[in-house]
Structure 1
Amino acid sequence: MRDWVHAAILSHLETAAAGFGYHAIRLETRLVNTRAVAFYQRQGYCRIPSYGKYVGGPEAATAISPVVLGKSSLDSYQQMRSG
């Protein structure tokens, strides 16, 4: 698939998540999946510390992206962490 197909699917999922009231999407992929890591970064996702069963796992790449327009990924992450 081309990136535009992946981007369209991701955009649809983000729109659906926003419709359900979510402010951000957190995802995980393996660091060895460099194409996925690069794709998510191009879509505005930024790395955050791993969580759940992935804490301390050096192979996991955890990322977050804003769902609410006009917010940066970091702003969304900080808002989630503060409550």
Structure 2
Amino acid sequence: VKYDELLAAKLRYAVEKQLLSPSDRFGILDDSYALCVARNESLTSLIYLMGAYREEDGYTVMSNLINVMLSSQYHSLVT
């Protein structure tokens, strides 16, 4: 799901403040990563979103964040 800038900013805020469920936070990151891999979103916007997860304490969300970070590094080096 590609969000317009206003909704993306609201979702980033909600992620940062942990106002959403862990599954929603997981899904937002997963969607953003998929868009980045498909080249429908920039790596910069993905990294900006990832900054909202700096206080994340949910195991599944953190696991996804780590996977995205490692995969993003790989994709940016290969492409």
TM-score of the two chains, using structure 2 as the length reference: 0.39
Larger RCO, structures 1/2 (Cα 8 Å, 6+ apart): 2
Structure with greater proportional strand content = 1
When Rg is computed on C-alpha atoms for both structures, the one with the higher figure is: 1
Structure with greater proportional helix content = 2
